[in-house]
Chain A
Amino acid sequence: MTPHILTRSLDRAATAFILIVAAVGVLIPLSNLLLPQGSMFQVPTYLVALWGKYVCYAILALSIDLIWGYCGILSLGHGAFFALGGYAMGMYLMRQIGSRGVYGNPILPDFMVFLNWDKLPWYWYGFDKFAFAALMVLLVPGLLAFCFGWLAFRSRVTGVYLSIITQAMTYALLLAFFRNDFGFGGNNGLTDFKDILGFNVQAEGTRAALFLLSCLALIIGFLICRTIVTSKLGKVLIAVRDAESRTRFLGYRVESYKLFVFTLSACMAGVAGALYVPQVGIINPSEFAPANSIEAVIWVAVGGRGTLIGAALGAVVVNYAKTFFTSGPLAPYWLFMLGALFILVTLLLPKGIVGTFNSWWETSKATNGSPDADSAAREDGVGAPNPAE
């Protein structure tokens, strides 16, 4: 990454976003650790974990925005990559439990002892090393996305067909992970984690560090996405989104571009899942549920697809609303609200919060007589493509 690309990819909004995330990433853990308990500005530990979860969701949303907002690939199975990354991390955490499990077996996790397995399945080898697990967090979702995308894009499966088969993919994985003999803990999943890299996962310090790491991952992910979408590659992606056949006729290998971003996006989702698991303390097959993946798509739609910042913002806003409503007396109405959000955003706010704000900003600037509107904002390719019938 040369400084030139970096500076080009950073406009004012992007810089502000990075600074805010960095500030949150530092301030929340600091306030949690340093201020006395009960102080007005002290963030309780449960909130650190909760906001850590939001940040992981924001990374997932970012990865979806990269392919949906800039390349027109609507994946309804991104939850699968998220969950696979989570499982890879969960397997490392399971191996770290060692003989502290209920059955005290130094090698086998509890559920395997319970199922009377006498040795570790081969695919659990190596997960006692953090480096290996971290590699798998990237490799497993990336490899699945590569194979899946290679098959799908090469045979030009596009649009809703692609959406439906990605949904089928996560559904198939859901069914598979629910099976006990699949070797991933069946419907209980992986839980009861003790420590990560020698630190207790429950400890305040560990949680604060995980939060900081999540924010760091969000910033890095944002920088990667930003670099891509502002580069020439990003231009081609937007061209693919808006007129795929035309781009192909112009001589670009559309499927290679798509495959690259799809795989990259799956790796990002995997990282999000890996950071998510130690913070919530459990990973189970319900993370593969098709509904989760669709919900992640709506975060992006709410925030504004094709804006990156909007995706992250949408994830935090929708999930904050979810926490707020489902924990109060309004809980039975949450699904009504979520459903209405899907409908209203697509009908009335197709550009999402950030996209709408951007266009409002542009028009108000234009009416104020400032002719050179922010060029970077225009380059974003804000707004949904609207191909003619």
Chain B
Amino acid sequence: MPALAGPFEDSVAKFANDEFSDTEAAIGEVAASGNALASPIISALQDGRLSADPDSKKVFITQTDGKIVDATTGAAVDKLPDNAAAVRLNNRLRRTVEAALGGLTLLSPDPAKRLAAAQSVFKSHEENLLPTVESALAKESVKPIKQAFAEARAAIILFKPDASDSDKLDAVAVVKARGDQEALALLTGLGDQPPLVAKAAASAVSAIQSNLAMWSMVQNAWYGLSLGSVLLLAAIGLAITFGVMGVINMAHGEMVMIGAYTTFVVQEVIRTRYPALFDYSLLIAVPLAFLVAGFIGVLIERTIIRFLYGRPLETLLATWGLSLVLQQAVRTAFGPTNREVGNPSWMSGAFELGQITITYNRLWILCFTLAVFAILLAMLRYTALGLEMRAVTQNRRMAASMGIATSRVDALTFGLGSGIAGIAGVALSQIDNVSPNLGQSYIIDSFMVVVFGGVGNLWGTLVGAFTLGIANKFLEPVAGAVLGKIAILVLIILFIQKRPRGLFALKGRAVEA
């Protein structure tokens, strides 16, 4: 073997021996060297781009762009020597190569890569990476990554046959603190362990399991809140028209659809004319949707519903017909297929909270729903129109006798309910397909919410929406999505038998009206 300049060069030269044991040693030494060429060499080895000349003991890398460089110096080479051959690998070596690459990225300057490497080591718990992990752990200054390294180290120690019991017990504690599905998988796959460690691991497993069960409850609750907010948003306008006016508006879902299409039109205009404003598209769409849907609502009230007061069943049929007309009109104008409505940047993405992922659009919709609810409540409580609406709800004739123009209040109430449905459409366009059938999918659910919560009571609608949302999401993992929904419908039907006027029933004269 010719004398070479240093230990790195010596190690690299071992690749040229064409012996698996030498290659394995070379991988370990190169990876531990910290040399800048270590990573290119080992990835070249993995891809079969590493060649060696057995005579000169020189090793070459064929780069992905076809250029050839000397593995020890990085200097460009014109062409491979004639008798150079690719360094061979077997399956065992391939695993070593992968682990070595993982170890190399452990030392990467990019924090995201380090974190990913630490996670993958946690899963693979490759024993020969222990020194690398330990040195990375010592050097690391970013807290979450340091934590990940500590967990990776613990994982390796747990699977290391010759680690001491006390080290293993510490490791169990670290993994237990991590507490997620992967920690559970690691601990359950531990195999034979000294009795003390096995006992600690078993208790850690049960602790993690109960922790995970709690998080899955939290997750279900979050999904339920999210679904509840969607239901509330869709039902809140209905609660006003149904609750205050006793009008069954089957075209309510179409008002939601109109709001969604308003968002689509606003975004189209912004895309073609003012692309910079895209992030503000929803802020522009909300008032517009309110106005468009509200205006259509007032129009409907003045031309159709006005003539049908006191005939709720006929109102139901007429508004159903109206919903068919509106759907078909939108289908004619915009086509029957789904239209693309984009998420602005502040609504895309997600963040982690403990063991659950929360998407920004769901979170914003929840906040938005609660805001709309609060504003509506304040409006009913503190404005003149709100006062008049409540008066008409409680006793229409007496309100009329006191000089309230009930028909004007009716028109405005219907407009308000429709406008809020339009706003709901803006929010729902972010999470649902914008198609002419959008409203249809919400109408039955909305009615269920209003009827369940009790007519004429906004708080009832709030409680109803969240109860149904959460109940639905807790039933889903047990019964499946469709059966869960059927169960909810059956439960509501049974509930209505028990309390025909909903959770929060109006009392007094209004009941028999």
Q: Give chain A's interface residues, CB within 8 Å of chain B.
A: 74, 76, 148, 151-152, 154-161, 163-165, 167-169, 171-172, 175-176, 178-179, 290, 294, 297-298, 301, 332-333, 335-336, 338-343, 345-347, 350, 384, 386-389
Contact = CB atoms under 8 A, between A and B. Distances in A.
Contacts of B309: 389
Interface string B316-346: 1110111111111100100000000000000
A337 B321 CA distance: 9
B328 A165 contact: no
B213 interface: no
Contacts of B321: 298, 338-343, 346
Given A343-B322, A346-B308, A347-B304, A175 B486 contact: yes
Contacts of A169: 489, 493
A168 B492 contact: yes
B248 interface: yes
Contacts of A152: 496-497
Contacts of A386: 310-311
Interface in B446-489: 447-448, 451, 482-483, 485-486, 489
A298 B492 CA distance: 26
B498 interface: yes
Interface in B277-331: 304, 307-318, 320-329
Contact of B496 (A157, A345, A384): A157
B513 to A, nearest CB: 7
B316 A74 contact: yes
Contacts of A161: 451, 496, 500
Contacts of B315: 346
Contact of A340 (B314, B325, B483): B325
Contacts of A332: 328, 332
B447 A347 contact: no
A345 B315 CA distance: 11
B444 A167 contact: yes
A259 to B, nearest CB: 13
Contacts of B317: 294, 297-298, 301, 342, 345-346
A331 to B, nearest CB: 11
Contacts of A290: 444
Contact of A160 (B304, B313, B332, B444): B313
Given A161-B500, A164-B451, A74 B304 contact: no
Contact of A155 (B329, B396, B497, B513): B497
B486 A160 contact: no
A345 B317 CA distance: 9
A349 B328 CA distance: 24
Dominant SS at the B interface? helix
B489 to A, nearest CB: 4
Given A176-B482, A346-B308, 8 more contacts: A74-B316, A167-B444, A178-B482, A297-B317, A339-B322, A342-B321, A343-B318, A346-B314
Nearest to B451: A164
Interface string B232-260: 00000000000000001000000000000
Interface in B344-387: none
Nearest to B444: A171
Contacts, number: 129
Interface of B: 248, 304, 307-318, 320-329, 332, 396-397, 444, 447-448, 451, 482-483, 485-486, 489-490, 492-494, 496-498, 500, 513
- Of listed A172, A294, A336, residue having the most chain B CB within 10 A: A172
Contacts of A340: 321, 325
Nearest to A348: B307
Contacts of B320: 294, 342
Contacts of A151: 493-494, 497
A192 B318 CA distance: 38
B444 A346 contact: no
5 contacts: A160-B312, A161-B451, A336-B329, A339-B321, A342-B321
Contacts of B308: 346-347
B483 to A, nearest CB: 8
A176 B313 contact: no
A338 B325 CA distance: 8
B444 A168 contact: yes
B381 to A, nearest CB: 26
B396 A389 contact: yes
A57 B307 CA distance: 30
A318 to B, nearest CB: 12
Contacts of B313: 74, 159-160, 163
Contacts of B397: 389
Nearest to A342: B321
Nearest to A301: B317
Contact of B304 (A175, A336, A343): A343
A76 B317 CA distance: 10
A172 B500 contact: no
Contact of A338 (B312, B324, B332): B324
Contacts of A164: 248, 447-448, 451
A103 B374 CA distance: 61
A339 B332 CA distance: 15
Contacts of B486: 172, 175-176
- Of listed A148, A155, A342, A384, residue having the most chain B CB within 10 A: A342
B493 A389 contact: no
B318 A342 contact: yes
